[in-house]
Chain A
Amino acid sequence: MTINKVANGKDLIISLAGRLDTTTAPQLDDELKGSLDGVEKLEFDFTKLEYISSAGLRVLLSAQKTMNKQGSMVIKNVSEEINEIFEVTGFVDILTIE
């Protein structure tokens, strides 16, 4: 998985490519821990994300909890397959998917 970050003031856009799974989720978790301070608008771009498992969902939930306290979080360009996982888990109601 590759993580691409673009910060602009209090906005942060994170684009993910590849697979967000048990082996790669800790990488994103570490990245978020070091970059959410002072961020008020977090945007994920999933255009190139191919796969997500519960390990990835846990990181997203954790990020959502953080952003609920300090701003907002949106996820853009979610594929049909990944959206299906969000639906099954009720994450469609927790996350803001555009």
Chain B
Amino acid sequence: MRKDFDQLNYYEMLDIKPDAVPYEIRHAYNAALQLYQPGSLVSYSFFSDGERRAILSLVEKAYQTLINDQSRKDYDATLISRGEIEARDESAPDLKKPVSVFHISRGPAARTVFISSDALKNKISQSRIITDILAQSELSGEDLKQIRTELGLTIEHIAEETKIRVNNIRSIEEGQAEQMPPAVFLKGFVKSYLKCLGLDSVEELSARYMNTVSRPK
């Protein structure tokens, strides 16, 4: 003979495990209602009216207690002290954070091959050639190449850092319109390229480059 219904704890009443989540509790409550509510075929004639009412009020109480976080915690505490259930690890499950689709490692270790941007800026301000080029009203691919070699960076370095394909960088430097990516992409590529070189006023410079390149020769 098993325990009477009113001797069961709320988890046993609803047939759920002590670590059930609210979704499971609601589901179990609905299932219990299907069993015990008046007019249910399952329990037809099984209980007298009084018994049915008693059971339904117990089920209701069980649900109200377990669905509320605070009252559930209190109830769990009494069950634990009675030794009916074991203490649960209370730490809330880790909330899911958005996962980056492209897992690009930009940690410091990956950057060691490059000269730090401070050092680049230093070099730029010291180099006469670069200041001259930047002073011009036009900025061609050739100029970009010159700045790059002056700074001692290779195309591969740039490609690694900006994730722009090597042949795209090459076409930017060669300034051949037919080999270049479409203008929408080109603009973005040039900006990242300039940024990678450690130049300031990237917007203005990229606009200057775009004007130079698109002008018919």
Do A and B make up one complex?
no
